[in-house]
A = this chain, B = another copy of it.
Amino acid sequence: MKYSPSRWLPFEEGIRVIQEEMEDLLRRQSEQDVDLSAEITALQDRLEAEKRKIASELTPWRKVLVARHPNRPYTLDYIAHIFDDFVELHGDRRYGNDQSLVGGPAMLGDYSVMVIGHQKGRTTKERQERNFGSSNPEAYRKAQRLLEMAERLGMPVISLIDTPAAQCLFDAEARGISEAIAATQLLMGGLRVPIVVVVTGEGGSGGAIAIGVGDVVMMLEHAIYSVIPPEGFAAILYKNAAPEQVQQAAALLRLTAQDALELGVIDEIIPEPLGGAHHDGIGMAATLKQAIVRRLEPLLALPVDELVDQRYAKFRAMGKWEVRRG
């Protein structure tokens, strides 16, 4: 995976310092032909320790920053490393070719699947072309088309979620962003092939759940899944929210993978490399692939009516309430 030059989150300062020292050591070793392997090993241990420390201190707000990290692997990165072949398909056959969501058939080992997923951009130009992963209605209508195709052709679906939120500007409203989100959920709710959903980065409200209805729903360890961005929630709670208030809002929302698991919204947390997926995208993709295959194969064995009934029952059970007696 090719990333733009490393960018560091504020709390990653320790890692940055050690990695610079490491580069120094390696340079000196190769330029001056000295053996610094002992120092390098020591530094590797320090790096590992620092990453562990950071990982242990990942507050919900820090997870938000990790989930949004510009070096975090995106859907097309995962596709490149998980699938052996991928044919990206384009267009909603109605209006446009929205690039904030990608999809198409792909080979997962010996069998084919249909992959859909939000796609943020890596470069400035690509970010704009992909609208920062915020989808217009056309993106969801493309997804619907691919989902229906997958059902007809008998391909299971892999859906990767990574969006700050659906597009909410005038044009999106005029072309029915609400209808697009609603109809995609309805379609996935009854689709007669297995669906595995993974929140890989930002699971941003309606834009996320639109492609979030599956037989299995997983989250990467530091991904987030939220009904509203913490900034938006803070704006509702406080006037001109200060940074600490935004951080507090992030905690209140229970938006981490650990929260989602506890609340019964997801089935599994997929561990990330130490410090986050942005430190080892290839390792992350390998872990993700294993999880997808492990979850998908039992679903392929289920009779389709049972599969669809189970998926329905799964989402029907979501939510918490009490039953008042007589």
- In the complex, what distance in Å separates the CA atom of A111 from the CA atom of B94? 34
Q: Are B175 and A93 in contact (CB under 8 A)?
A: no
Q: Fill in one digit per residue for A56-94: 1 if any B CB lies within 8 Å of its CB, else 0.
A: 000000000000000000000000000000000000011
Contacts of A179 in B (CB 8 A): 93-94
Q: Quick check: is A176 within 8 A (CB to CB) of the other chain?
A: yes
8 Å CB contact of A95 from B93, B95, B183: B95
User: How far, in whole Å, are A183 and B94 apart by their CA atoms in the complex?
Assistant: 11
Q: How large is the interface on A (under 10, 10 to 19, 20 to 34, 35 or more residues)?
A: 10 to 19
When C-beta atoms are compared, the residue in chain B nearest to A91 turns out to be B176
Give 1 or 0 for each of A26-63: 1 = CB within 8 Å of chain B CB.
00000000000000000000000000000000000000
Which residues, 82 to 137 on A, are CB-close (under 8 Å) to B? 93-95, 137
Chain B: CB-nearest residue to A180: B94
Contacting B at CB under 8 A, from A161-211, are 174-176, 179, 183
- Specify which chain B residues have a CB less than 8 angstroms from the CB of A94 in the assembled complex: 94-95, 137, 141, 175-176, 179
Q: Which of B93, B174, B176 contacts A93 (CB 8 A)?
A: B176
Q: How far is the CA of A176 from the CA of B174 in the complex (A)?
A: 18
Q: Which residues of B contact A176 (CB under 8 A)?
A: 93-95
CA distance A175 to B137 in the complex (A): 14
A183 proximity list for chain B (CB < 8 A): 93
What residues of chain B lie closer than 8 Å to A141, measured between beta carbons?
A: 94
- Per-position binary interface string of chain A over residues 126-168, scored 1 when its CB falls under 8 Å from any chain B CB and 0 otherwise: 0000000000010001000000000000000000000000000
Which residues of B are found within 8 Å of A174, using beta-carbon distances? 95
CA distance A94 to B94 in the complex (A): 8
Look across to chain B and name the residue whose beta carbon is closest to the beta carbon of A182: B93
Tell me the complex Cα distance, A95–B176, Å: 7
Taken together as a complex, chains A and B put the C-alpha atoms of A179 and B175 apart, in Å, by: 18
Q: Which residues in B have their C-beta under 8 angstroms from that of A175?
A: 94-95
Q: How far is the CA of A174 from the CA of B138 in the complex (A)?
A: 14
Bound together, the chains give a CA A176 to CA B176 distance in angstroms of 17
Which residue of chain B has the shortest Cβ distance to A141 in the bound complex? B94
A–B Cβ pairs within 8 angstroms, 14 of them: A93-B176, A93-B179, A93-B183, A94-B94, A94-B95, A94-B137, A94-B141, A94-B175, A94-B176, A94-B179, A95-B95, A95-B174, A95-B175, A95-B176
Q: A93-B179, A95-B95 are in contact. List 12 more A-B contacts (CB 8 A).
A: A93-B176, A93-B183, A94-B94, A94-B95, A94-B137, A94-B141, A94-B175, A94-B176, A94-B179, A95-B174, A95-B175, A95-B176
Q: State the A residues within 8 Å of B (CB).
A: 93-95, 137, 141, 174-176, 179, 183
Nearest 5 CB-CB pairings of A with B: A93-B179, A95-B175, A94-B94, A94-B176, A93-B176
